[in-house]
Amino acid sequence: MDITRSGVATVKGPADWFTGDVYIDAVAVPVAPARAQANLVHFTPGARTAWHTHALGQTIYVVEGAGRCQRRGGEIEEIRPGDRVFFAPGEDHWHGAAADRFMVHIAINEVDAEHPDAADWGAHVTDEEYGATATG
């Protein structure tokens, strides 16, 4: 057993990876051979990830607020507390807050020696892409 007491500083999401203000708390930091990595991510209103993929896929679980997500070529979907989204390995996508609400999700990724980075990052989600009317 290894207890990590709360006291690790919250990290601001890097501007290369996010639009708007995003704050990240580490939930699970795997030590090999463990692979499960988890983060608690707070998105301020209008904040969202850039387009990105996860080599081994990703699950997000919404715990607070209201958000949006979209896969490349798909509709923008509204997501709410209790909703779970799985992004398939290699699926290009983004996720973030609604324009007028915070959104908090847990993000669960796998990392290993061959895939040390949980995500591969692309272009920012433009205001035009983000602003499309949400459905669902």
Contact set with Mn ion (CB under 5 A): 58
Closer CB to Mn ion, residue 87 or residue 134? Answer: 87
Strand partners, 38: 28, 108
In whole angstroms, the minimum distance from the beta carbon of 107 to Mn ion comes to 7
DSSP string of 47-91? Answer: -EEPSEE-TT-EEEEEEEE-EEEEETTS--EEE-TT-EEEEPTT-
Closer CB to Mn ion, residue 58 or residue 70? Answer: 58
In whole angstroms, the minimum distance from the beta carbon of 26 to Mn ion comes to 16
In whole angstroms, the minimum distance from the beta carbon of 2 to Mn ion comes to 27
Closer CB to Mn ion, residue 66 or residue 108? Answer: 108
Q: In angstroms, rounded to a whole number, what is the distance separating the alpha carbons of residues 65 and 97?
A: 8
